[in-house]
Chains A and B, each alone.
Chain A
């Protein structure tokens, strides 16, 4: 059966309302939950395919919800809403299969675009994703499925296609970090900074890794695509 339903989890009434309205043009059913507990109940619905989850929630917080969701519904793709660009505890989030982040505030187009991309990614196969972008999407798909080795492989292929873009190296760095290879992670973050000094996430990651010895969040490019704002 198809997993069309989008579950929106946010304690803010107006965000839920606006988000629901913004997703309407997608023509997909939208469920809303105003707490972690409610969200976990709703995840029982097998039609839920995408969950848009706010980090900050009263009661069970976003990370706890993510943890439970990754155990109970590993097939659901999770988009994390953050209050700011750099994601707290992103390594943990990625370990739990959450690979998409969006920073508040965002526009209706941005969230719709991201939801589309996430849904599209689920159906992606190697055959129709041979370019750089596609390889990275495949890597993210693998992360979502907690297959980090495969993700690393896809990221490597992406980098092989275009070694002058930072995003691939940054992703590889993050994957190495998840796989507890700090040296490799550092090397890849550095490569990312070298090929594109203006690529902020890699730089933030590099600094965090150098200064905090691997603790803290992984900076992630906002999937909303609002680079160069």
Chain B
């Protein structure tokens, strides 16, 4: 037999139903008790009150008959007889009623005796009537002897009947009271029991309803935390049971999905690892706390460490070179306006003596979708051979530019002397030719100087100072030097740099050269009436210095290679930049900054370079 309700609704109804049933029981009990009480009252009325009424009526009729006897003796025969008859019929009538309503033990006997004594009384009355018709002398004696005792006996019986019924009535009333009290207490007891039972039912029901929900909530929490191995001990077959079943099924599917994903991820990881291993260049992967999470064999060989040993260790423990760390940090830093720095490869040198090797390091920040930074990847390209070639080239250029100086010196001296001594003897065309030759000789001189600087810089022979420098002061000097040139050209040259800019780290002499070069360049490409502005600001640990003109601008396709050797804006005047911008870039890079150009044709060009601020953490290593 299974009485357990199948559905949640059934359970709720059953729970409430049980409580309602108890309430109904209590009501029923109260009704039964009320009924018993009312029936007891009715019984008192019906049983005892009728007998008492009969006894009283009979007593009254007897008294009337007794007084009729007196009337008879006084000679009022007719009236007395009528009164006697009425009394007699009354007594018989009430006696009959009393007989029909025998309720108390002993009442029957009493009525029998009453009837007997009343018959004796009636006989005595008849006797008296007969005697009355004879002599009247012994009338009083007859009354006292025969009539009075019968009358008294009958009256006593009547009184006894009344008393008996009165006592029975009192007893019944007491009984009814007891019934009432019992009803009160029993109703109270049953009511309390019902309340207690109802409470227990409610508790059981609520427990039964909430327990599966609690279990499911806990399981959902575990799943959310990634633990898919949940089981639920909900065995009921109601809606909650079905929900729990579905829930467990869903968790199992999730687990399967997760496992599948994991498998795919593992496969993906293996594939990536295989790719990384097979790359000839060194690869170093760090997480966002700079701990090494990946290093391929080429990378391990490049850094001279064992690949497995370094995993999980901080990158500075693996590569004590702060440059790499700084580059990783720069790449992972929130994008700054001068993000161009990130992409520029820098060199890392490892080892000593003949084993010394150079790596071009490119660092790329790895950002996940939405979750932000996850780490960075550093690519080490072995450029030792390339660098050696580059060094040989720089060496060659260095020697060449040295060698160029002697013939150049002879040319400049000779042309200078010629201009001084022979100019007067020449015609205007010849003088122009001589001036052109002198101008070109000077240009050649500047070019050789730049070339020498560049090759010395590239071969690492030109050492640059890294000391705190006030850029506004340097810019003012450069502007003062070039002011005459600007005046000649009819262009406005304005210094808009706040004088209280923080100091930057760099080589003051070379920075003056860079500023002069950039301003000179801007003046060269600015038409008469144009403007050249020099400004600066500190931002993000760097000082930004810009030189802006409103000249013809630089076409986008030329912006990319404007810093390459011997490139110049095609639509500008001849006698162009040559090596100037290349040298600017190399110098600024060597000082730890970067340089770039923003321009749109017809709207001028803005050259901006950055330098690390003297107070920034990058400004370590001031020569002292």
B509 — which chain A residues lie within 8 A by C-beta? Answer: 197-200, 203
Stretch from B135-143, B157-165, B400-408, B593-601 contacting the other chain: B400-408
B417 — which chain A residues lie within 8 A by C-beta? Answer: 18, 21-22, 24, 108
Q: Binding site of A, secondary structure by majority: helix, strand, loop or mixed?
A: helix
| Contact present for A203 and B508 (CB under 8 Å) | yes
Pick the residue among B411, B507, B511, B512 that contacts A105 (CB under 8 A). Answer: B411
A 160-197 contacts with B by CB, 8 A: 193, 197
A106 — which chain B residues lie within 8 A by C-beta? Answer: 409, 412-413
Pick the residue among B416, B445, B467, B623 that contacts A22 (CB under 8 A). Answer: B416
| Contact present for A83 and B402 (CB under 8 Å) | yes
A17 near B: Cβ within 8 Å? yes
CA–CA, A11 and B591, complex, Å:
40
B452 near A: Cβ within 8 Å? yes
Pick the residue among A105, A193, A203 that contacts B405 (CB under 8 A). Answer: A105
Contact with B along A109-120 (1 / 0, CB 8 A): 101000000000
Pick the residue among B406, B452, B474, B624 that contacts A15 (CB under 8 A). Answer: B406
Q: Which residue, of A22, A104, A105, has the highest number of chain B Cβ atoms within 10 A?
A: A105
B412 — which chain A residues lie within 8 A by C-beta? Answer: 105-107
B420 near A: Cβ within 8 Å? yes
B465 near A: Cβ within 8 Å? yes
Interface size on B, residues (CB 8 A): 36
In the assembled complex, how far is the CB of residue A85 from the closest CB belonging to chain B, in whole angstroms? 9
| Contact present for A108 and B416 (CB under 8 Å) | yes
A131 near B: Cβ within 8 Å? no
A27 near B: Cβ within 8 Å? no
Q: Binding site of B, secondary structure by majority: helix, strand, loop or mixed?
A: helix
Contact with A along B442-466 (1 / 0, CB 8 A): 0001100100100000000001010
B511 — which chain A residues lie within 8 A by C-beta? Answer: 198
B470 near A: Cβ within 8 Å? yes
A109 — which chain B residues lie within 8 A by C-beta? Answer: 416
| Contact present for B414 and A18 (CB under 8 Å) | yes
CA–CA, A174 and B60, complex, Å:
166
Q: Which residue, of A22, A111, A198, A211, has the highest number of chain B Cβ atoms within 10 A?
A: A198
A 1-46 contacts with B by CB, 8 A: 12, 14-15, 17-19, 21-22, 24-25
How many contacts A-B (CB < 8 Å)? 95
CB contact under 8 A between A18 and B463, given known A105-B405, A197-B474: no
CB contact under 8 A between A197 and B508, given known A18-B414, A83-B405, A84-B452: yes
| Contact present for A211 and B463 (CB under 8 Å) | yes
B411 — which chain A residues lie within 8 A by C-beta? Answer: 18, 105
B184 — which chain A residues lie within 8 A by C-beta? Answer: none
CB contact under 8 A between A105 and B473, given known A18-B414, A203-B507: no
B507 — which chain A residues lie within 8 A by C-beta? Answer: 203
A14 — which chain B residues lie within 8 A by C-beta? Answer: 407, 410, 414
CB contact under 8 A between A12 and B410, given known A197-B467, A197-B470, A203-B509: yes
CA–CA, A111 and B406, complex, Å:
15
CA–CA, A147 and B365, complex, Å:
63
Q: Which residue, of A25, A108, A200, A206, has the highest number of chain B Cβ atoms within 10 A?
A: A108
CB contact under 8 A between A17 and B414, given known A104-B406, A197-B469, A197-B474: yes
CA–CA, A105 and B446, complex, Å:
10
B7 near A: Cβ within 8 Å? no
In the assembled complex, how far is the CB of residue B445 from the closest CB belonging to chain A, in whole angstroms? 5
| Contact present for B508 and A198 (CB under 8 Å) | yes
| Contact present for B413 and A203 (CB under 8 Å) | no
CA–CA, A109 and B623, complex, Å:
38
| Contact present for A15 and B409 (CB under 8 Å) | yes
| Contact present for A207 and B465 (CB under 8 Å) | yes
In the assembled complex, how far is the CB of residue A14 from the closest CB belonging to chain B, in whole angstroms? 4
B 205-257 contacts with A by CB, 8 A: none
B305 near A: Cβ within 8 Å? no
Contact with A along B341-382 (1 / 0, CB 8 A): 000000000000000000000000000000000000000000
In the assembled complex, how far is the CB of residue A131 from the closest CB belonging to chain B, in whole angstroms? 23
A-B contact pairs, 7 of them (CB 8 A): A12-B406, A14-B407, A14-B414, A21-B421, A22-B417, A197-B467, A197-B469
In the A-B complex, the 8 residue pairs with the closest CB atoms: A197-B508, A18-B413, A105-B409, A200-B509, A14-B410, A108-B416, A104-B409, A21-B417
Besides the known contacts A105-B405, A229-B449, 13 further A-B residue pairs in the complex with CB atoms under 8 A apart = A12-B410, A15-B410, A19-B413, A84-B402, A104-B406, A105-B408, A105-B411, A105-B413, A105-B441, A109-B416, A111-B413, A193-B467, A198-B477
A-side residues, CB < 8 A to B, are 12, 14-15, 17-19, 21-22, 24-25, 83-84, 104-109, 111, 193, 197-200, 203, 206-207, 210-211, 228-229
B-side residues, CB < 8 A to A, are 402, 405-414, 416-417, 420-421, 441, 445-446, 449, 452, 463, 465, 467, 469-470, 473-474, 477, 481, 507-509, 511-512, 623-624
